[in-house]
Structure 1
Amino acid sequence: MTIEFAPFIPWSVLVILAVLIALLLGVGLLKRVRGTVLRFVASAAVLAALANPLLLQEEREPLSTIVPVIVDRSQSQEAPGRTAMTDEALKALTDRLSRFARIEPRIIEVKNPPTNDSPSTRLFEALASSITDVPPTRVGGAIMLTDGQVHDIPAIGQSLGFEAPLHALITGKADEFDRRIEVRQAPRFGIVNDPQELTFRVFDDGKKTDAPAEVTVLMNGEEIARLNAVPGVDTPLSFKVPRGGTNVLEFDVAGAPGEVTDINNKAIHLIEGIRENLRVLLVSGSPHAGERAWRNLLKSDASVDLVHFTILRPPEKQDGTPINELSLIAFPTRELFVEKINDFDLIIFDRYQDRKNVLPILYYDYIAEYVKRGGALLIAAGPELASEDSIALTPLSSVIPATPTGEMHEAAFYPRLSKEGERHPVTRGLDGSASEPPAWGRWFRSVDVANPDGETVMTADGGRPLLVLNRSGEGRVAMLLSDQGWLWARGFEGGGPHVSLYRRIAHWLMKEPELEEEALKARAIGRTLEVTRQTIGDKPGPATIRTPSGKTETLDLTETIPGLYRGERRMDEIGLFTVSNGDFSTLVHVGAVDAQEFKAMVSTTEALAPVAAAAKGMVARLDNGNGGIRVPDIVPVSSEVRVTDNRRMLIRLTDETVLKGVNTLPLFAGFAGLAVLLFAVSAMWWREGR
């Protein structure tokens, strides 16, 4: 109860009256005037009545004690058994806390944020957010349900935002074991076919072992190494980048019996292959109008080392001029086609014909073997391919996809894409191909061939083959059955996409991944997984996605342009995904490769023990060893918690209250006030009367 005043007149007037009364009292006492005290009492009573004193009595209600329960729902909590253990413990906690009328639990479930590409378990951040709307004195404690792998644990001595115990209930088992693999050091770029080296390490969390673990290494889905790695020791790996563009190195460590999960038994590393100046051999036959088209294209590419020979003086044109007086360079056939043939990434015969003694017949066999072992050959043909000196009549016939009939077709025509060509990545979407007739210039002759192998992606007049692509052994061969491409380069009738076409042909021959007819690719853009399926066949059907947690889901693929199907989906999980479609499979990592969430999956009590001890809380495992759980008792205390109880969870009850109402009683109101005033005045009158 408190006393307050509600004066009937301003306080300034009351103060002046009080001063006057005090002065009169002083004068009266000095002069020994009779009745001074009674006069003072009567005046004071009147002054008190004017001040209107009030007796106030507040009605207050105790506030509830807030207890945040932070539930870890991160991906590491999806390990076998942990989700069920968490759900059971949460139910038990909720039931027990509900028995205390003054305790208000706040259940906060913490998942890996869908916008975070490098997920981690941040329980203390969630704890701080859950109590921003209440004063620290109302927080009686906090309880965390987690596997102990928390990545935002504050330093010892750092405030939690409240002065109350912090308790942690740990899922999982005490003797857990998990095996994982990490790429420690690796290059991001590598020269194609140059030796590269990286190091990786196998970790056996939860126990120490010197027994080696078998690790399988795949490059772009093909096994390149199988080796044993000692856990805890960096293991080197030497390899070569097989192709330009993105290459996927996959590391798969054999699982161990009883490990928590195999989610982190795989790791990937992406390395960009860079071609070191492609070496191209261009052999031109008799000079012709389009001879410089290929040369200009290849010379304009700074990454191409071009070796170009033109046969200006064939053997049958010998005129007896001494060799030392000739300005022409002799064709170094043995050096090019025997000693250094494997140094070339691509060989181009541009209107070349087999004249005697230029290339010995055996050398054509060398070229055919070069193709079968993985080389690339392009034949840009003209009338000479249909002649008696055609290179199609040499041992090259074993690798070239089309045999000429010996006839040339002379007629104006628009080069057109075939049905296969509309879907083939070499010709798909060429500028001008969508209209009819195509929006490019005409050509006027082509070599007639019979029953070509491989894919005919462009056609001449009457549907005759114009561009034929084929595989031979491990290599590739392309035949352009016309020498009229230079008309596009010269801008005849508006020209055409000769640069794009020639470059795509060359890159397909050199096995650029972007131009594979059948391919499955996946990439991650933040948390969005994008799947691309390239095919020249029928609709490939949906893709199958295996998530890091082992779940399987399907993704429908929609044809965006002929031969190219795409689908995308926002993924809830972070980690290594396996995408498959038919016989094709690929890996993609969504989110940061080194995300903390997957570096350790073994449950632990050690991480949270220091901060819990500093807050006078406890850390205990839920597992009771018999297949069930044990939730410690909850004990509310009315005062500050000063000691740690290792068997019970102490909750400090708040003494905060909320004001519900105020009762007011005027002290000088009614008969009581009137009686005091009458008594004071009567006493003064009685004294004066004497």
Structure 2
Amino acid sequence: MNWSLSFEPLLSWPLLAAVVAPLALLALVGLWLRQRGGWFRAAALVALAAALLNPVLLDEEREPLQSVVAVVVDRSQSQDIGERSKQTDEALAGLKERLARFKQFDVRVVETGNAGAAGDRTETRLFSALESAVRDVPPSRIAGAVMITDGQVHDAPGAAPEFNAPLHALITGEENEKDRRIRFEKAPRFGLVGKPLDMTYRVISTDRQSGPVEVRVSVNGEQVSVERAFVGQEMPLQVTIPNAGRNIIELAIPKEDGELTETNNRAIALVDGIRENLRVLLVSGEPHAGERTWRNLLKSDASVDLVHFTILRPPEKQDGTPINELSLIAFPTRELFVEKISEFDLIIFDRYQHRDVLPILYYDYISEYVENGGALLIAAGPEYAGESTIANTPLMAALPAMPTGQVIDKAFYPRLTDLGQRHPVTRGLDGSGSEPPRWGRWFRTIGIENPEGEVVMKGADDQPLLLLDRKGEGRVGMLLSDQGWLWARGYEGGGPHVQLYRRLAHWLMKEPELEEERLTADGRGMVLEIRRQTMSDDPGTAQVITPSGKTLAVKLEKSEPGVFLGSVEVSDIGLYQVGNGNLSALAHVGPVNAPEFADVVSTPDKLRPATEASGGSVRRLASASLTGGIAIPSVVPVRGGGEATGNDWIGFRTTDDSVLKAVSQVPLFGGFLGLGLLLLALGSMWYREGR
């Protein structure tokens, strides 16, 4: 029982003072003058005042509140090393058992680091978890906290934490652990394709060893070199970026005997490859309505350097005009087609015909250029079907089709073939999804025979309209109509000429995103997403190798013609290898080189400042004196300012807070008892006066 005295005045305080003050003054005067009965009058006055104040004796029924103990359990990936996970489970079970003996403790267990989100797997943030666990608890009710971890905590405060209670840490792992790791020191985010990129890295060993170590350097999964590095020193590295877009640079060192893990024996850098401006040579035949369509498109592309020549007058049309007045500069045929032909990424012949402007030998150089990896586009007009066609030159070796000599002048809607609906160049062209297509008509098709490669668009009478072919290491495209300018001019609503022409040009220049057979993978949070471009109807399943070496099979579902998608939720952060058929891809899930893997050696040092500042302790669960077991400290309740740690025990504060359940009132001057006491006091005063 909790007894206390309270007053509940019958009058307001000002009125009570107005009544009692004059009477008190008279009583004091009587006592000062030592009048007969003065003490009796004073006693009567006190009784009257007490009656007006109405004293009440209170009996409060209170329920004591529990003190909150937070147990923060580290479930990050570094806790999976060795016996740490087992030690954690045993320590958690032992703490729960010991804390359950004390009813005054409310135990809250928070496990962190085992969520599916990438942000929860990349760092060990125990103090954030602790703050969340006690956010709704007043400071007076926080008994303390204990962290079960390997000590690699990435949000540990440098000084005293904002936690006014004992903080204890139980460290998993073993003493004198050994580990070696590699990391990038300088890794640029971007690099030029085909150019060397300067980087630096460092190999770090916990036992402070020195000496050389072999470092394997891989780019997009293919080993490119083996470097010799010295432990502890910053080493230079030069890597050539092979592709535009995402490139994965990987460094790997062999696992050393006695090393904790080889997870951090790899370092990853993601480098976006940027192409230098692509060089395109555009050679136009005699002027025609769509002559500037290709020029305008290529000039509007900031990534293209265009060299354009137009044959304004064929050689047979001589009128005596001096050569130096026919053009601003002479057509440098030898320089372009012999000396610097290999510097061009694409050559376009737009309605060009052979009229001795180019020596016949130069066509052979162009064919050789294509065989060696160059790109050629033929934008054909009626000239391709005439006697002066370039198909009658040594260039025929590079051409995907020979002309029949027929020019079909008939209105038609350009349509995608079955292959064209799946091919990246023509797949999903704006307006292609309806019949007839939602674009304007063309009126001319050049007839060909025995086409090679892939026919992705068809024209009048279902004749081939757009051919794509590979010749040796190079590529050739052939557009068998000169009517594309009608789309550019908006005839009958126009059409997607920019989309088509740009895709066509970039496919010829081997843009990775436009490859017919392509496998890519990417990490979105902790989900691995796989994308497969293919010309087949079913690419099958994708095989995934996780960072830990496990194999997963991921089914690929059709998303659109020629595109299949698959995804799988994963738990490990690191580099995933994806394979499908003869294609492979790499993807990194989670942040690159996450802090969770930067250092995996268990240590009490990071938590010692915070625990000592709070009056707690940090200790290892396992030690050299224990064989196959761990030492779980005893739990002791302590009062507010007492010691909270000992050799084999940890303490948690108990609170004095309680909840009021009920109140019983006993008025001291209430009822007949109060009336009797008051009458007795007044009667004694008059009794004394009457004597």
* TM-score above 0.5: yes
Q: Which amino acid aligns with 2:142?
A: V
Q: Aligned-pair distance for 1:503? A: 1.9
Contact kept, 8 Å, 1:92 with 1:631, in 2: the verdict is yes
Q: Aligned-pair distance for 1:346? A: 0.9
Equivalent residue, structure 2, for 1:343: 343
Q: Aligned-pair distance for 1:146? A: 1.6
Equivalent residue, structure 2, for 1:82: 84
Secondary structure of 2:128's counterpart equals helix
Secondary structure of 2:428's counterpart equals coil
Q: Aligned-pair distance for 1:518? A: 1.5
CA deviation string 1:603-631 (max 9, x = no partner): 22110011112222221222356444332
Equivalent residue, structure 2, for 1:170: 171
More deviation, 340-349/632-641 = 632-641
Equivalent residue, structure 2, for 1:145: 148
Are the structure 2 counterparts of residues 616 and 492 from structure 1 closer, same or farther at C-alpha, using a change threshold of 3 Å? Answer: closer
- Tell whether 2:419 aligns with 1:420: yes
CA distance in structure 2 between the aligned counterparts of 1:308 and 1:44, rounded to whole angstroms: 117
Are the structure 2 counterparts of residues 326 and 541 from structure 1 closer, same or farther at C-alpha, using a change threshold of 3 Å? Answer: closer
Equivalent residue, structure 2, for 1:230: 230
Q: Which amino acid aligns with 2:368?
A: E
Equivalent residue, structure 2, for 1:653: 654
Contact kept, 8 Å, 1:170 with 1:621, in 2: the verdict is yes
- Tell whether 2:66 aligns with 1:64: yes
Which of 28, 34, 37 aligns to 2:36? It is 34
Q: Aligned-pair distance for 1:536? A: 1.6
Q: Aligned-pair distance for 1:193? A: 3.0
- Pairing of 1:120-139 with structure 2 (within 5 A): 120-139=123-142
Equivalent residue, structure 2, for 1:401: 400
Q: Which amino acid aligns with 1:159?
A: E
Q: Which amino acid aligns with 2:103?
A: A
Equivalent residue, structure 2, for 1:241: 241
Are the structure 2 counterparts of residues 52 and 39 from structure 1 closer, same or farther at C-alpha, using a change threshold of 3 Å? Answer: same
Q: CA RMSD in A?
A: 3.6
Are the structure 2 counterparts of residues 26 and 353 from structure 1 closer, same or farther at C-alpha, using a change threshold of 3 Å? Answer: closer
Equivalent residue, structure 2, for 1:198: 199
CA distance in structure 2 between the aligned counterparts of 1:49 and 1:341, rounded to whole angstroms: 117
Contact kept, 8 Å, 1:408 with 1:448, in 2: the verdict is no
Equivalent residue, structure 2, for 1:479: 478
Q: Aligned-pair distance for 1:671? A: 7.8
Equivalent residue, structure 2, for 1:91: 93
Are the structure 2 counterparts of residues 213 and 635 from structure 1 closer, same or farther at C-alpha, using a change threshold of 3 Å? Answer: farther
Equivalent residue, structure 2, for 1:272: 272
Contact kept, 8 Å, 2:182 with 2:204, in 1: the verdict is yes
Q: Aligned-pair distance for 1:49? A: 4.1
- Tell whether 2:359 aligns with 1:359: yes
Q: Give percent identity, aligned residues only.
A: 55
CA distance in structure 1 between the aligned counterparts of 2:32 and 2:360, rounded to whole angstroms: 148
Equivalent residue, structure 2, for 1:114: 117
Q: Unpaired segments of 5 or more residues in structure 1?
A: none
CA distance in structure 1 between the aligned counterparts of 2:677 and 2:405, rounded to whole angstroms: 139
More deviation, 108-117/63-72 = 108-117
Are the structure 2 counterparts of residues 191 and 27 from structure 1 closer, same or farther at C-alpha, using a change threshold of 3 Å? Answer: closer
CA distance in structure 2 between the aligned counterparts of 1:498 and 1:90, rounded to whole angstroms: 67
CA distance in structure 2 between the aligned counterparts of 1:224 and 1:604, rounded to whole angstroms: 37
- Tell whether 2:374 aligns with 1:375: yes
CA distance in structure 1 between the aligned counterparts of 2:167 and 2:413, rounded to whole angstroms: 79
CA distance in structure 1 between the aligned counterparts of 2:333 and 2:487, rounded to whole angstroms: 32
- Pairing of 1:440-479 with structure 2 (within 5 A): 440-450=440-450, 452-479=451-478
Q: Aligned-pair distance for 1:109? A: 2.0
Q: Aligned-pair distance for 1:103? A: 2.1
Q: Which amino acid aligns with 2:584?
A: S
CA deviation string 1:624-677 (max 9, x = no partner): 564443322222233523475243212233333444444444444578667755
Q: Aligned-pair distance for 1:488? A: 4.0
CA distance in structure 2 between the aligned counterparts of 1:10 and 1:505, rounded to whole angstroms: 96
More deviation, 605-614/330-339 = 330-339
Secondary structure of 2:246's counterpart equals strand
More deviation, 147-156/199-208 = 199-208
CA deviation string 1:237-292 (max 9, x = no partner): 32333344x13132141341454444444444343333333222223445555444
Contact kept, 8 Å, 2:401 with 2:448, in 1: the verdict is no
CA deviation string 1:570-604 (max 9, x = no partner): 77665544444443333344554364334333322
Q: Aligned-pair distance for 1:548? A: 5.5
Equivalent residue, structure 2, for 1:210: 211
Are the structure 2 counterparts of residues 664 and 509 from structure 1 closer, same or farther at C-alpha, using a change threshold of 3 Å? Answer: same
- Pairing of 1:268-667 with structure 2 (within 5 A): 268-311=268-311, 331-355=331-355, 358-361=358-361, 363-386=362-385, 390-405=389-404, 408-409=407-408, 411-438=410-437, 439-450=439-450, 452-524=451-523, 530-543=529-542, 556-567=555-566, 576-593=575-592, 595-624=594-623, 626-638=627-639, 640-642=641-643, 644-667=645-668
CA distance in structure 2 between the aligned counterparts of 1:60 and 1:117, rounded to whole angstroms: 42
Q: Unpaired segments of 5 or more residues in structure 2?
A: none
Are the structure 2 counterparts of residues 36 and 455 from structure 1 closer, same or farther at C-alpha, using a change threshold of 3 Å? Answer: same
CA distance in structure 1 between the aligned counterparts of 2:291 and 2:24, rounded to whole angstroms: 125
Equivalent residue, structure 1, for 2:252: 253
Q: Which amino acid aligns with 1:272?
A: D
Contact kept, 8 Å, 1:54 with 1:665, in 2: the verdict is yes
Are the structure 2 counterparts of residues 41 and 436 from structure 1 closer, same or farther at C-alpha, using a change threshold of 3 Å? Answer: closer
More deviation, 318-327/564-573 = 318-327
Q: Aligned-pair distance for 1:21? A: 4.2
Q: Which amino acid aligns with 1:240?
A: T
- Pairing of 1:13-28 with structure 2 (within 5 A): 14-16=16-18, 18-28=20-30
Secondary structure of 2:370's counterpart equals helix
Are the structure 2 counterparts of residues 373 and 686 from structure 1 closer, same or farther at C-alpha, using a change threshold of 3 Å? Answer: same
CA distance in structure 1 between the aligned counterparts of 2:291 and 2:10, rounded to whole angstroms: 115
Q: How many residues align?
A: 684
Secondary structure of 1:212's counterpart equals strand
Q: TM-score, normalised by structure 1?
A: 0.87
More deviation, 41-50/605-614 = 41-50
Secondary structure of 2:427's counterpart equals coil
Secondary structure of 1:440's counterpart equals coil
